[in-house]
Amino acid sequence: MTDSHAHYDDKAFESDRDALLSSMNENGVSLIINVGDNAESSKRSIALAEKYDFIYACVGIHPEHANDITDRDYDEIKELSKHEKVVAIGEIGLDYHYDGYNKDNQKELFRRQIKIAHEVNLPVVVHERDACADVLEILKDEDIGKTGGLLHCFSGSVETLKIVMDMGMYISLGGIVTFKNAKTAPEAAKHVPIDRLLLETDCPYLAPAPFRGKRNNSIYMYYTAEKIANLRGISFEELEAATDENAKRFYRI
């Protein structure tokens, strides 16, 4: 399996990071993309990618940092993006969930990082929370089809899915599809074209059932994959093969 979105640089993995990552291959996880959410975690993602063959990195600034960004941050992300194991700019996007966000600052941060992606010819990994219409507008406006994009942790409607597919994008699904109260993610799991779907954990967050609420890791992705395979009426092996291939195509690995 390929974990297309993980945060192993997070301090939640401080005590056992190397032991856990060293056990991935024997537990069926062959490829992991570690995603930055600011310049520092982007650097840590690259360090993990340098240490492990099967880890690649994304570099980018998450919208939650939009209120304290300087020009230096943009320069840094652009520099980091030139590393040979950096496969995308991310995670970037809009998040209107928590108090204190500033829409204009987030939009500027999002647009400027898409422009960097165009300049360095990398796809983008997009985070969207409570900001669907604005995210879609910016993706369209910035011509995302040119470099390619992945909407991670997708939880939009089937109508939104169609718009995202029409832009030539991919989606990734994680533990939420296994949650009892999940509605839109399982629908998306059924309706997304099989050649546009990736698996992810977003670990340490969003562990699938039966581990909901615990620290997540890529080995638990088996439960997510099995749930999606069931929803689609295909075998685990078929889903695994398709999502592995899609991840490699999207990230150009």
Smallest distance from Zn ion to CB 26, Å = 25
Q: Which residues bind Zn ion (CB under 5 A)?
A: 202
**DSSP state, 23?**
T
Smallest distance from Zn ion to CB 206, Å = 9
3-class SS of residue 94: strand
Q: At what angle do helices 158-166 and 132-141 cross, to 10 degrees?
A: 10
State which residue, 114 or 126, has the beta carbon closest to Zn ion: 126
Strand order of the sheet with strand 55-59?
A: 2-6, 31-35, 55-59, 86-95, 124-129, 149-151, 170-173, 197-199
Strand pairing category for 31-35 and 2-6: parallel
Torsion of CA 34, 123, 238, 194, to 10 degrees: 140
State which residue, 17 or 191, has the beta carbon closest to Zn ion: 17
State which residue, 3 or 142, has the beta carbon closest to Zn ion: 3
Smallest distance from Zn ion to CB 2, Å = 15
State which residue, 205 or 222, has the beta carbon closest to Zn ion: 205
Smallest distance from Zn ion to CB 88, Å = 12
Smallest distance from Zn ion to CB 37, Å = 7
Q: Which residue is nearest to Zn ion (CB)?
A: 202
Q: What is the amino acid identity at position 53?
A: D
> How many angstroms separate the CA atoms of 186 and 189, rounded?
5
Which H helix or E strand runs over 88? Answer: strand 86-95
State which residue, 76 or 202, has the beta carbon closest to Zn ion: 202
State which residue, 66 or 229, has the beta carbon closest to Zn ion: 66
3-class SS of residue 64: helix
CA atoms within 13 A on the CB side of 96: 9
Beta bridge partners of 146: none
> How many angstroms separate the CA atoms of 95 and 173, rounded?
18
State which residue, 73 or 128, has the beta carbon closest to Zn ion: 128
Smallest distance from Zn ion to CB 85, Å = 18
Smallest distance from Zn ion to CB 152, Å = 6
